[in-house]
């Protein structure tokens, strides 16, 4: 039950953007990383925790500490309280999804260098066209998959 409670507190810290709870629960996870043989996680988390300790960070960079403590260490795609997501998860959900769906690099186009370059150049144009169409129609796409008029 202790491990389940620890995981629950860790997810709560991430989803709600509670930086101090996040660092504290990450520190409590260190023995579990080591015991399960995840030595790279243990080493990286240990260095990260040392850099993010409240006293050191607050003294060395008070502006950064204020930003992190206000919840800006997670990405929010909506204004909901439980909507904070770690950056690696957002990259997987948003950017990698565009690679894997129809018209993406892994669906029919192939992975040659020229096709990867063409796909990357086209994506910014597609995003700009999407914005223009949303403005022109007066409808804006929300992150939950609904349209706002």
What pLDDT is attached to residue 110?
62
Query: Residue 14 in contact with residue 22, Cβ under 8 Å?
Result: yes
Residue 65's alpha-carbon distances to 52, 83, 86, 99, in angstroms, are 8, 21, 17, 35
> CA–CA separation, 14 vs 8, rounded Å?
10
Encoded tokens for 104: 């993406």
What pLDDT is attached to residue 134?
78
Residues of the chain with pLDDT under 70: 54, 95, 97-111, 119, 140-149
Query: Residue 85 in contact with residue 75, Cβ under 8 Å?
Result: yes
> CA–CA separation, 149 vs 129, rounded Å?
18
What pLDDT is attached to residue 30?
95
């Amino acid at each position: 039950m202790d491990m389940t409670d620890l995981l629950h507190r860790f997810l709560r810290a991430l989803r709600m953007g509670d930086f101090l709870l996040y660092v504290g629960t990450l520190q409590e996870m260190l023995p579990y990383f080591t015991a399960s043989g995840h030595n790279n996680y243990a080493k990286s988390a240990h260095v990260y925790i040392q850099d993010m300790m409240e006293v050191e960070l607050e003294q060395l960079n008070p502006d950064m500490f204020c930003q992190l403590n206000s919840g800006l260490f997670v990405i929010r795609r909506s204004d909901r309280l439980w909507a904070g997501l770690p950056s690696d998860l957002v990259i997987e959900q948003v950017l990698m999804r565009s690679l894997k769906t129809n018209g993406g690099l892994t669906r029919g186009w192939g992975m040659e260098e020229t096709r990867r370059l063409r796909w990357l150049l086209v994506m910014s144009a597609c995003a700009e066209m999407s914005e223009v169409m949303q403005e022109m129609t007066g409808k804006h796409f929300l992150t939950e998959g609904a349209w706002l008029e």
